[in-house]
Amino acid sequence: MSTLTITGLSALEILDSRGRPTLSVTLTAQDGSRHVAGVPSGKSTGANEAVERRDGVADHYAGQGVEEVVATVEGEIASHLVGHGWDGIWEIDTTLCGVDGTPNLSRLGANAVVGVSMAAARAFAHASGQPLWRWLARDGVAPRLPVPHFNILNGGAHAPNQLEFQEFMVAPIGAPDLPSAVRAGADVYAALRALLVEDGLDTGLGDEGGFAPDVDVETALRMLTKAIDRAGYEAGRRGVAIALDPAATGFRGHDGRYLVGDERLSAGDLIDWYTELVEWYPIWSIEDGLAEDDWDGWATLTQRLGDRVQIMGDDIFVTNPQIITEAIERKVGNSSLIKVNQIGTVSRTLEAMAVCRDAGYTQMISHRSGETPDSFIADLAVGSGCGQLKSGAPARGERVAKYNRLLEIAAANPDLPYGLG
Ligand SMILES: C=C(OP(=O)(O)O)C(=O)O
Ligand SMILES: [Mg+2]
Q: How many CB atoms lie within 10 A of CB 271?
A: 20
pLDDT at 211: 98
Q: What is the pLDDT of residues 173-200, one digit of tens each?
A: 999 999 999 999 999 999 999 999 999 9
Near ion ligand 2, which residues have CB within 5 Å?
A: 245, 314
- Among 20, 43, 251, 285, the mutation site with the greatest number of ligand 1 atoms within 8 A of its Cβ is 43
How far does the centroid of ligand 1 lie from the alpha carbon of residue 42, in Å?
Answer: 5
Q: Are 337 and 317 in contact (CB under 8 A)?
A: yes
Binding-site positions read: 158, 166-167, 245, 287, 314, 339, 366-369, 390
pLDDT of residue 165: 98
Task: Count CB atoms within 10 A of the CB of residue 5.
Answer: 15
Residues of the chain falling short of pLDDT 50 = none
Model pLDDT, residue 63: 61
Task: Note the pLDDT of residue 58.
Answer: 52
ipTM score assigned to the predicted complex = 0.99
Could you say which ligand is closest to the alpha carbon of residue 158? Answer: 1
Write down the catalytic residue from 208, 292, 351, 398: 208
